Amino acid sequence: MNILELRDLVVCHEGKTILRVDSVRFEQGKIYGIIGPSGAGKSTLLRVINLLERPAQGSMHVFGTDVDLAALTHAKGLPIQRQMGFVAQKPAMFHASVFDNVAMGLRYRGVDRAAIRPRVLAALKLVDLEHAAGQRADTLSGGEAQRIALARALVYEPPLLLLDEPTASLDPHNIAIFERVIHTIHQTRRTTILIVTHNLAQARRLTHACLFIHQGRIVECGETAAVFSGAACRELQDFISGRMIC
Ligand SMILES: Nc1ncnc2c1ncn2[C@@H]1O[C@H](COP(=O)(O)OP(=O)(O)OP(=O)(O)O)[C@@H](O)[C@H]1O
C-alpha cells in the first residue's frame, strides 16, 4: 500500500526549475534513501512533502487524501503536516528543558496532560537520554541535541518520518544510536521513513529502496541492493563509485 505519491511536481526558484518529478510512490512501512550530489534537489523534495515549501505545480496523495500542493492553504495543510515527523541536519532547540522540547509536539496536538509525561519519557528512553529530561536543551552536545530532535519527531508517533541529512554532523557513536532508533521504530511501528543522506554506507545499511536525484530529476530508483550492485545509469554508477562531484 502506498502512503505517499507525488505527481507532476515542479519546483522553481528565481525563475529556474530546480525539481521536476513526474511521479513517485512510497510504500507504507519501507525506509527510502534519497541520494544524489549536492544541489540536486534532495532537501527540496523533502521540504515539499513536509509542506514547508510550495511548488509551482503538483499534487500529493498522502494518508489517503489528495492535496493540490500549489493551492494548499496553511489551515488545510496543518493536519497533514502534523502526521509527519521532520528532522533537519541541524537541531534547533527551544530555550527550555529537554522534557519540554520533546513534550511540545504533544501539547500542540492537544494530548491529555496526564498522558504527556510517560510518552515523553518513553521517547527519551528510545534515544538513550532519559536521564537528561531536566537538563536545559541549550546545554546539550550537538549529538545529544540531534537525538532530542529525533525524540521530538517520534513522540507523537507519526506514520511518516522525514530525515534531512540527520547524521551529517554526528560522530560514529551518535550515528550508531540514531540508526538503531530508526531501525527500532521501523520494526515496532512500521513507520515509513525517507532519509536524505550523503553517507552511502548508511543508505546501504538502513534503507530498502533508494532514489537517486540528479539535476532536479529522479534519475533512478529501486531496491537498495539493486541500486548499489547494478545501477543502470552512468551518473549513478559514477556517483556510487565516487567519480561524480556535482
Ligand atoms: N530558496 C531558494 N532560492 C533559490 N535557490 C534555491 C532555494 N532553495 C534551493 N535552491 C536551489 O535549488 C537547488 C536544490 O537545492 P537542495 O537544497 O534541494 O539540494 P540538495 O540536493 O539537498 O543539496 P545538498 O546535498 O547540498 O544539501 C540548489 O541549486 C539550490 O541552490
Is residue 98 in some structural domain?
A: no
Establish if 99 belongs to a structural domain.
Answer: no
pLDDT higher than 80, residue 42:
yes
**Residue 52: what pLDDT?**
95
Q: Is residue 166 part of a domain?
A: no
Residue 237 domain flag: yes
Is residue 152, in this structure, part of any structural domain at all?
Answer: no
* 37 Cα to the center of ligand 1, angstroms: 11
> Does residue 143 lie in a domain region?
no
Q: What is the CATH number of the domain that holds 60?
A: 3.40.50.300
59-80: pLDDT as tens digits: 999 999 999 999 999 999 999 9
CA terminus-to-terminus distance, the chain: 35
Q: Which three cell numbers stand for residue 211?
A: 532514489
Strand-pair partners of 59: 7, 68
How far apart (Å, rounded) are the C-alpha atoms in residues 102 and 154?
Answer: 9
Q: Is the model's pLDDT at 43 over the cut of 80?
A: yes
For the chain, what percent of residues have pLDDT higher than 70? 99
In contact, 55 and 10? CB cutoff 8 Å: yes
Spatial distance between the Cα atoms of 23 and 5, rounded to a whole number of angstroms = 7
Q: What is the pLDDT of residue 245?
A: 60
- Please count the residues of the chain: 246
DSSP string, 141-193: -HHHHHHHHHHHHHTT--SEEEEESTTTT--HHHHHHHHHHHHHHHHHH--EE
Q: How confident is the model at residue 230 (pLDDT cuts 50, 70, 90)?
A: confident
- Residue 228, in any domain of the structure: yes
- Grid cell of 4 as nine digits: 505517499
Number of domain units in the chain: 1
Within a domain: 215:
yes
Give the residue whose CA is nearest to atom 17 of ligand 1: 43
Ligand 1 contact via 41 beta carbon (within 6 Å):
yes
Residue 156: per-residue pLDDT: 94
Q: Is the CB of 38 under 6 A from ligand 1?
A: yes
* Assigned C-alpha cell, 115: 498522558
Place of cell 530546480: 18
Question: With a 6 A CB cut-off, is 13 part of the ligand 1 pocket?
Answer: yes
Domain that holds residue 222: 1-83+192-246
